């Protein structure tokens, strides 16, 4: 029973009523003793039973207010199955979409909350989030819109783009070997999206450990949760744009020798062949097992084979190195903690009730 269901006042004598109070549930209830002859200890036990019935308090929900796992049960009961079917289709074509869908959730929720704003197109006067420097090479937007079209066919105007992002990230992760987690629905779509907001909120791939900790702390996440969610880099691919600073501009010299000295030398040579200096558009896998969600990411980081500067930064701090080493081992809590982190992320800044809208297509406001 939740902690706020705990107030039971003792009467001065056994003939007085026992007052049962359950804060945040109902008004205090009174259980009258039939007679003073009833043993008071038995009366207390009776009161506790009645208290549980009257109060009916539930454990605190892990979801933001307005969200629930059965939100679409009556309005679109097939919503989760439709999303799952489309995700399966996309992954059969290209398993690296699992990483793309994870990235979309993170890049959406971290900027003004989980409201689908990362999917919006720019307008004539406003550059949308997708145009931000930190969102270079963002994938999966067209695929989310395809899922939306399928949902609109069966349940027009019901399922939000924001919820589709959350479901797709969960389903894709599970389908490539990662954990699954319960997903609460009920988010509505935002109508504002600017590149400046994305570049202001999202962590750039050149941040050091303290910079990453500060960025995540601003959203209510701990250093360990930051390291946990960095594990999303175990799947997917990246354009060279985010990798070049690690190879050619580690200290700001911007030349072919300015490589992170902590990077495995053979690995650095390998990356430079795939990402020549100045080439922002080539794509590479960001993990040695990029099509499978596993612990290889943490093993790679420990051996100087982190793709991004932010990956390598994780072991520059004693706490970071301890967590990375722990997650790299069989039987670690990585999967469990990653799932919890994704649920927590899905609660950020949600719009519910009459806030926002339910878009007809994900790339345009209604």
Does the annotation flag 111 for ligand binding? yes
CA triple 156-158-160, angle to 5 deg: 115
Quick count: other Cβ atoms within 10 Å of Cβ 19?
A: 16
Does the annotation flag 13 for ligand binding? no
Could you state, in order of their start, the residue ranges of all structural domains in the chain? 78-236+286-346
Does the annotation flag 233 for ligand binding? yes
pLDDT at 45: 53
Does the annotation flag 77 for ligand binding? no
pLDDT at 338: 98
Structural domain 78-236+286-346, CATH architecture: Orthogonal Bundle (1.10)
What gap in Å lies between CA 361 and CA 160, rounded to an integer?
A: 9
What gap in Å lies between CA 22 and CA 141, rounded to an integer?
A: 47
Catalytic residue set? 107
Does the annotation flag 113 for ligand binding? yes
Quick count: other Cβ atoms within 10 Å of Cβ 283?
A: 15
pLDDT at 43: 53
Rounded to two decimals, what is the model's pTM? 0.83
The DSSP secondary structure of 71-134, one letter per residue, reads: TTTTT-TTHHHHHHHHHHHHHHH-TTHHHHHHHHHHHHHTTTSSSSGGGPPP-SS---GGGSGG
pLDDT at 47: 52
| Tens digit of pLDDT at every position of the chain (366 positions) | 343 333 333 344 444 443 334 444 444 344 343 444 445 555 555 554 444 544 444 456 789 999 999 999 999 999 999 999 999 999 999 999 999 999 999 999 999 999 999 999 999 889 999 999 999 999 999 999 999 999 999 999 999 999 999 999 999 999 999 999 999 999 999 999 999 999 999 999 999 999 999 999 999 999 999 999 999 999 999 999 999 999 999 998 888 899 999 999 999 999 999 999 999 999 999 999 999 999 999 999 999 999 999 999 999 999 999 999 999 999 999 999 999 999 999 999 999 999 999 999 999 999
Does the annotation flag 353 for ligand binding? no
Q: Is the dihedral of CA 41, 47, 49, 55 positive or negative?
A: negative
Q: What is the DSSP letter of 280?
A: -
C-alpha distances out from residue 81 to 72, 176, 361, Å: 12, 17, 19
Does the annotation flag 116 for ligand binding? no
Does the annotation flag 203 for ligand binding? yes
Does the annotation flag 117 for ligand binding? yes
């Amino acid at each position: 029973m939740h902690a706020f269901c705990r107030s039971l006042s003792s009467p001065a004598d056994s003939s007085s009523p026992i007052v049962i109070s359950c804060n945040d549930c109902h008004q205090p209830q009174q259980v009258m003793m039939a007679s003073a002859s009833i043993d008071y200890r038995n009366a207390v036990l009776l009161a506790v039973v009645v208290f549980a019935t009257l109060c009916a308090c539930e454990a605190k929900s892990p979801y933001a207010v307005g969200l629930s796992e059965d939100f679409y049960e009556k309005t679109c009961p097939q919503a989760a199955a439709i999303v799952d079917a489309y995700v399966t289709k996309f992954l059969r074509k290209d398993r690296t979409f699992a990483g793309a869908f994870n990235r979309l959730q993170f890049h959406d929720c971290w900027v003004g909350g989980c409201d689908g704003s990362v999917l919006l197109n720019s307008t004539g006067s406003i550059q949308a989030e997708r145009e931000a420097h930190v969102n270079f090479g963002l994938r999966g937007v067209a695929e989310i819109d395809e899922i939306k079209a399928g949902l609109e066919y069966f349940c027009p105007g019901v399922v939000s783009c924001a919820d589709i992002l959350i479901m797709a990230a969960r389903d894709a992760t599970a389908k490539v070997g990662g954990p699954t987690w319960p997903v609460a629905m009920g988010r509505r779509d935002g109508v504002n999206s600017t590149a400046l907001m994305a570049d202001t909120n999202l962590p750039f791939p050149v941040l050091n450990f303290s910079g990453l900790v500060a960025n995540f702390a601003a959203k209510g996440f701990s250093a360990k949760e930051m390291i946990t969610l960095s594990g999303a880099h175990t799947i997917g691919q990246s354009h060279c744009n985010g990798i070049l600073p690690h190879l050619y501009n580690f200290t700001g010299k911007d030349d072919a020798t300015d490589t992170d000295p902590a990077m495995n030398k053979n690995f650095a040579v390998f990356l430079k062949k795939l990402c020549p200096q100045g080439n922002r558009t080539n794509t590479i896998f960001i993990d040695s097992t990029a099509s499978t969600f596993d612990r290889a990411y943490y093993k790679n980081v420990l051996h100087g084979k982190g793709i991004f500067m932010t990956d390598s930064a994780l072991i520059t701090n004693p706490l970071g190195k301890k967590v990375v080493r722990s997650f790299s081992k069989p039987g670690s809590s990585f999967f469990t903690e990653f799932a919890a982190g994704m649920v927590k992320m899905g609660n950020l800044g949600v719009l519910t009730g009459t806030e926002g809208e339910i878009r007809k297509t994900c790339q345009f406001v209604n």
